[in-house]
């Protein structure tokens, strides 16, 4: 890091980001804005709940304002990510000490005003989103082409995190829609970031499907308002618990909630709405793909837990469900089988699809479909069997945490490999573990975490999923044994495709791309010392060798469109990767200097976090159980939100 970069960071920290953090610390430390509880410790003011929203918003705006200076923009982005992590940590500590914190914007009380609600469920989600966001930002600073960063990357990324944070903290359904749109509008552009034909095609498909979903979501929200008379989640839960007192017919509410559920399933990438996932993840830059798979997907899962296990679970159909294959009167009696079918389909489609992939990014994209099925499977069991519901929600949250860390790690590993070699096709790889043991070891940790090997966090996550089904079987629940069998089969699929990825990409003799690992080369936009020429880069950051055409290796991995000896390849993920290729009769000639030590360091830190979470799992489990309790305790949620500031 240069002195100029450090100077820019120091200057801008005072001008842009740190004042917000300083204000937050003032709120936490100034007795004039704290409320005392007898002789006990002082409690934080409700304003602490809004700061995780304000920090990424301020960072996004500041990165736009200083975009003329690339160093300054990168400094603001990193400092903003650090500030975001600090505010999330402060909010997490405040909720742990006080319980649910409610902030009413402009002091308009719920259910009429805009409400921010920070409870253990929201802070659990934020607690893994914030550190992973910091890792993704630092990785992007080192990885994405400087011109691409300066053009649009950092503002778009932080606006996306504004949407993610708002979705976790909102207290009403309409603002959930608003924050979804903030998140998705930014992600549309990030998927198309490299501006190539395949990137644009993937982004167009992603955008159209999600825009249709957003339109359907808005219609469903309007219908819910017309039916229940409110959009505030706490107020809606209160009304649905006593529909006769408010003149509510539960039947149309169930139908409208089902329409809304389909939208959340689309956002989460659950089968049969998973078809946008592989192309979008392959097209996006590696740190964006990592956050899409690790964090953005979890917003849909969060919405399902918050609304269907909290708000809509209060409703019941007096006459029961007059549908074949469904029984019971609770709304969750309907959603249990639906969740089960989606979970099973996701596990099978994702797992079998991952086995058939010929490239690492395609494998990881399909793996995300299968793994989100594992997150949903205990929710399906919990919706059907009330006695295991707290354990089921906790299992889903722990698995979501493990998948978030592991999938961010694996996509960053994939990006680092492509930064060096220009390819992630298995036929061109091999022997990476010997050439770069830290990188290979990081991939192995991520794979083992998703397989579920102790002492990694994935072992406890998968154990909880199985324990949910086993406990349901012990209660005599119908279908729980099928859930357990599907989980075991999905675990075997996970072992199969990660074993294939390890043996073909990281083990054995080096492939063509790895044979030249460690030879001389230059980054895009820099002079090649061997030829005296400069490797150009496109506005999206994709390096292109002189006299050749650039192509996306992510799509080539699945479509096998680039044949040996007649095309040059480029590292579409990096925009400035250590790669320059030219065609010859024996395949691509790849010149590289090896992976950046800084990139590998970021990857290694994320890998270590998997081990840390596993070794220190007790507090993670306690936090997940607290989050599950908050999701299921409707009465406490209603009292906190509708009681003003939650006091």
Q: C-alpha distances in angstroms, 335 versus 115, 384, 490?
A: 27, 8, 22
**Which range is least confidently modeled, 318-322, 378-382, 439-443?**
318-322
Buried b (16+ CB within 10 A) or exposed e, 60-82: bbbbbebbeebbbbbbbbbbbbb
- Taking only the tens place, the pLDDT of each residue in 609-643 is 999 999 999 999 999 999 999 999 999 999 999 97
Residue 472 CA to its chain's centroid (Å): 29
Pairing of strands 115-118, 580-582: unpaired
Identify which has the larger pLDDT, 204 or 555: 204
Token pair in block for residue 625: 């159980």
Is the pLDDT at 588 greater than 50? The verdict is: no
The CA radius of gyration of the chain, in Å to the nearest whole number, is: 25
- Taking only the tens place, the pLDDT of each residue in 209-226 is 989 999 999 999 999 999
Domain map of the chain by residue range? 518-593
Q: Is 313 helix (H, G, I), strand (E, B) or coil?
A: helix
Distant-in-sequence, close-in-space partners of 343: CB < 8 Å, separation ≥ 6? 270, 373, 374, 376, 377, 379, 380, 483, 486
Residues 564-574: what's their mean pLDDT?
36
Question: What single-letter DSSP state applies at residue 110?
Answer: T
What is the model's pLDDT at position 478?
80
**Burial of 384 from C-beta contacts in 10 A (0-12 / 13-18 / 19+):** buried
Alpha helices in 66-119 (DSSP H): 70-98
Closest CA to 144 of 70, 204, 201, 209: 70
- Taking only the tens place, the pLDDT of each residue in 10-69 is 333 333 333 333 444 444 444 334 333 334 444 457 889 999 999 999 999 999 999 888
Distant-in-sequence, close-in-space partners of 240: CB < 8 Å, separation ≥ 6? 228, 248, 250, 253, 311, 312, 314, 315
Question: pLDDT grade, residue 324 (50/70/90)?
Answer: low
- Taking only the tens place, the pLDDT of each residue in 135-188 is 999 999 999 988 888 888 999 999 999 999 999 999 999 999 999 999 999 999
Side-chain-side CA neighbours of 118 within 13 Å: the count stands at 31
Buried b (16+ CB within 10 A) or exposed e, 558-589: beeebeeeebbbbbbbbbbbbbbbebeeebbe
Give all strands (DSSP E) within 155-314, no chain letters. none
Return the H-helix or E-strand segment holding 174.
Answer: helix 173-191
Token pair in block for residue 297: 């997907």
What is the model's pLDDT at position 197?
86
Question: pLDDT grade, residue 399 (50/70/90)?
Answer: very high
What is the model's pLDDT at position 518?
59
Distant-in-sequence, close-in-space partners of 497: CB < 8 Å, separation ≥ 6? 351, 354, 355, 357, 363, 366, 367
Is the pLDDT at 383 greater than 90? The verdict is: yes
Q: Is 591 helix (H, G, I), strand (E, B) or coil?
A: strand
What is the C-alpha to C-alpha distance for residues 355 and 353, in angstroms, rounded to an integer? 5
What is the model's pLDDT at position 546?
31
Is the pLDDT at 552 greater than 80? The verdict is: no
What is the C-alpha to C-alpha distance for residues 500 and 152, in angstroms, rounded to an integer? 37
């Amino acid at each position: 890091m240069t002195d100029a970069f450090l100077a820019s960071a120091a200057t801008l920290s005072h001008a842009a980001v740190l004042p917000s953090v300083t204000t937050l610390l003032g709120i936490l430390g100034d007795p004039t804005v704290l409320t005392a509880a007898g002789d006990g410790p002082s409690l934080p003011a409700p304003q602490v709940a809004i700061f995780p929203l304000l920090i990424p918003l301020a960072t996004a705006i500041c990165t736009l304002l200083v975009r003329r200076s690339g160093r300054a923009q990168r400094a603001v982005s990193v400092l903003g990510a650090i500030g975001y992590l600090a505010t999330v940590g402060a909010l997490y500590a405040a909720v742990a000490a006080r319980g649910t914190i409610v902030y009413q914007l402009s002091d308009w009380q719920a259910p009429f005003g805009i409400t921010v609600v920070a409870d253990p469920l929201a802070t659990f989600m934020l607690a893994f989103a914030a550190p992973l966001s910091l890792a993704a930002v630092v990785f992007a600073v080192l990885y994405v082409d400087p011109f691409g960063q300066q053009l649009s990357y950092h503002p778009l990324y932080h606006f996306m995190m504004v949407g993610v944070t708002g979705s976790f903290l909102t207290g009403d359904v309409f603002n959930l829609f608003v924050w979804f749109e903030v998140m998705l509008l930014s992600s549309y552009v990030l998927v198309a970031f490299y501006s190539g034909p395949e990137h644009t095609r993937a982004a167009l498909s992603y955008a159209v499907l999600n825009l249709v979903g957003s339109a359907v979501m808005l219609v469903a929200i309007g219908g819910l308002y017309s039916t229940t008379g409110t959009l505030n989640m706490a107020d809606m839960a209160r009304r649905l618990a006593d529909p006769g007192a408010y003149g509510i017919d539960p039947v149309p509410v169930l139908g409208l909630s089902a329409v809304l559920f389909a939208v959340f399933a689309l956002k989460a990438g659950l089968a049969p709405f998973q078809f946008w996932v592989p192309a979008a993840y392959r097209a996006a830059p590696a740190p964006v793909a990592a956050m899409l798979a690790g964090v953005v997907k979890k917003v849909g899962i969060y919405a399902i837990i918050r609304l269907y296990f909290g708000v809509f679970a209060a409703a019941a159909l007096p006459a029961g469900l007059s549908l074949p294959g469904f029984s019971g009167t609770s709304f969750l009696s309907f959603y249990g089988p639906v969740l089960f079918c989606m979970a099973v389909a996701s596990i099978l489609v994702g797992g079998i699809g991952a086995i058939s992939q010929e490239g690492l990014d395609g494998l990881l994209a399909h793996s995300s479909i299968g793994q989100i099925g594992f997150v949903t499977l205990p929710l399906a069991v919990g919706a059907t069997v009330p006695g295991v519901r707290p354990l089921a929600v906790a299992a889903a949250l722990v698995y979501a945490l493990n998948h978030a860390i592991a999938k961010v790690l694996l996509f960053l590993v994939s990006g680092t490999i492509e930064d060096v070699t220009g390819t992630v096709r298995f036929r061109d790889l091999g022997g990476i573990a010997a050439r770069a043991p830290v990188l290979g070891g990081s991939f192995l940790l991520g794979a083992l975490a998703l397989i579920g090997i102790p002492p990694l966090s994935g072992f406890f996550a998968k154990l909880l999923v199985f324990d949910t089904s086993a406990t349901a079987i012990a209660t005599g629940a119908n279908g729980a044994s099928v859930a357990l069998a599907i989980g075991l089969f999905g675990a075997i699929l996970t072992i199969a495709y990660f074993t294939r990825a390890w043996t073909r990409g990281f083990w054995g003799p080096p492939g063509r791309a790895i044979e030249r690992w460690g030879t001389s080369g230059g980054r895009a936009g820099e002079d090649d010392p061997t030829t005296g020429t400069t490797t150009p880069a496109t506005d999206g950051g994709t390096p292109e060798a002189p006299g050749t055409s650039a192509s996306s290796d992510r799509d080539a991995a699945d479509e096998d469109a680039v044949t040996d000896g007649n095309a040059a390849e480029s590292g579409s993920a990096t925009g400035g990767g250590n790669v320059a290729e030219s065609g010859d009769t024996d395949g691509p000639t790849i010149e590289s200097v090896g992976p950046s030590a800084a990139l590998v360091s970021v990857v290694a830190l994320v890998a270590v976090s998997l081990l840390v979470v596993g070794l220190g799992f007790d507090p993670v489990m306690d936090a997940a159980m607290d989050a599950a309790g908050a999701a299921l305790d409707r009465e406490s949620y209603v009292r906190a939100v509708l009681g003003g500031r939650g006091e």
